[in-house]
């Protein structure tokens, strides 16, 4: 896999070296066990896979190249390039501006954008409607297009389904940029409907089976389906794709459930005529990070810290997995580790910041899981780890310990 040119301030001196060491030891990713950094009074467990993925590094490389190649020009990000505030803040500090927020709401009017400006498409991709607006202005949307190749893979698979007269069921969050983009690209070739979770997939299945009135479709999914969607006709042949940052296991469970719905409706012998196998749209990085996080669930740890942007879908799913077993705190950077007595963290289900007291146990040795989402620089994990070490006496020097591990 190719390497990318990433600014030095995103490269980690400590945790990055541990990741590189594991990669050298296990290049084929056969060992999903965590990495232990034993500092005596405190021990950190790192997931086998975490942090920047291929698509994020590609987006960062293109964005910083755009800055270098266009001095003096106005450079816009269509929306947040990735869901990490540290990265987006650094880009805006260098003069970039956002045209839209993460929900597609306008921050800068299109009338302000000219053909001489540079507009960067984020890693999530964008809708065909937005591409058309850029072309009408005279901006080439492909010149600095950072759309993740694995997102484009989903679009291609959706197009293939549409060409074979399948309706595309998209597992994703309807307001998320990637799902909005996938829906737009899918809609040009196929009917499409978005389901956010298994509960909605089950409801859709009951409509298909006639266990719920077909009129219920418009009430439940009317704002998340293509115009003119006819459930009586468009739910006869279906295939499932996903927003690549969703829980891979949940996407597969939804596909498996709808597959069984079609077996029940049409019979096993007719399954291929009514259901398309689409498991190849799952993102490898999402799978790797989630599989590695599932391995962490087998560990003996006292708590977990997950670092990433609050609006990062893939990060929120890591939190969702870890909180099954451990007290888990979702933080954006070391600034939220207030003291040994208090930590500020994001409650994802409630979408609000909270402060928890007495979060750091007094027991020694203390074992902490530390991981991050696919859009989080490893340097932030370095900073979080060092901040926690400030509150613990009698710890070994982390640089010397990492150096000894590399020897």
Query: Is 178 one of the catalytic residues?
Result: yes
The answer for residues whose C-beta is within 8 angstroms of residue 56's C-beta and 6 or more apart is 82, 123, 148, 374, 375
Quote the tokens at residue 122.
């984020």
Long-range residue pairs from 84-90, CB within 8 A, at least 24 positions apart, any chain = 84/308, 84/309, 84/312, 84/373, 84/375, 84/376, 84/377, 85/309, 85/332, 85/333, 86/332, 86/333, 86/376, 86/377, 86/380, 87/10, 87/60, 87/375, 87/377, 90/7, 90/9
Given 178, 250, 320, 336, the catalytic residue: 178
CA 96 – CA 150 distance, rounded (Å): 25
235, 272, 273, 280, 391 from 267: Cα distances, Å:
15, 10, 10, 24, 62
Nearest alpha carbon to residue 181 among 167, 194, 196, 164: 194
Rounded to a whole number of angstroms, the CA Rg of the chain reads 23
First-residue to last-residue Cα distance in the chain: 26
Torsion of CA 14, 20, 25, 31, to 10 degrees: 90
CA 297 – CA 192 distance, rounded (Å): 36
Q: Which residues are catalytic?
A: 178
């Amino acid at each position: 896999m190719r390497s990318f040119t990433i600014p030095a301030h995103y490269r980690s001196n400590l945790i990055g070296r541990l990741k590189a060491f594991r990669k050298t030891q296990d290049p084929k990713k056969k060992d999903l066990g965590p990495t232990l950094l034993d500092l005596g009074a405190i021990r950190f467990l790192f997931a086998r896979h975490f942090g920047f993925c291929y698509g994020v590094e590609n987006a960062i490389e293109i964005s910083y190249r755009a800055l270098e190649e266009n001095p003096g020009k106005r450079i816009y990000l269509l929306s947040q390039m990735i869901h990490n505030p540290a990265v987006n803040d650094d880009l805006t500090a260098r003069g970039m501006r956002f045209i839209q927020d993460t929900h597609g709401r306008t921050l800068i009017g299109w009338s302000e954008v000219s053909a001489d400006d540079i507009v960067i498409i984020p890693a999530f991709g964008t809708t065909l409607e937005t591409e058309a607006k850029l072309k009408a202005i005279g901006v080439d949307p492909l010149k600095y297009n950072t759309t993740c190749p694995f997102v484009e893979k989903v679009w291609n698979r959706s197009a293939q389904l549409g060409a074979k007269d399948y309706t595309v069921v998209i597992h994703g969050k309807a307001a998320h940029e990637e799902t909005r983009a996938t829906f737009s690209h899918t809609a040009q070739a196929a009917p499409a409907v978005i389901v956010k979770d298994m509960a909605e997939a089950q409801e859709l299945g009951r409509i298909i089976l006639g266990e719920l009135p077909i009129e219920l479709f418009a009430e439940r999914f009317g704002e998340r389906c293509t115009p003119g969607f006819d459930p009586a006709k468009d739910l006869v042949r279906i295939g499932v794709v996903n927003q690549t940052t969703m829980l891979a296991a949940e996407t597969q469970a939804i596909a498996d459930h709808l597959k069984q719905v079609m077996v029940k409706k049409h019979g096993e012998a007719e399954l291929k005529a009514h259901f398309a196998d689409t498991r190849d749209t799952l993102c490898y990085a999402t799978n790797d990070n989630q599989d590695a996080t599932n391995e962490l669930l087998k560990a003996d740890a006292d708590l977990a810290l997950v670092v990433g942007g609050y609006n990062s879908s893939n990060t929120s799913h890591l939190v969702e997995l870890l909180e099954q077993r451990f007290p888990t705190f979702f933080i954006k950077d070391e600034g939220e580790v207030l003291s040994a007595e208090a930590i500020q963290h994001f409650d994802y289900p409630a979408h609000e910041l909270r402060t928890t007291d007495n979060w750091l146990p007094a027991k020694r040795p203390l074992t902490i899981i530390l991981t991050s989402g696919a859009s989080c620089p490893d340097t932030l994990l370095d900073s979080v780890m060092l901040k926690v070490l400030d509150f613990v006496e009698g710890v070994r020097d982390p640089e010397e310990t990492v150096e000894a591990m590399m020897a």
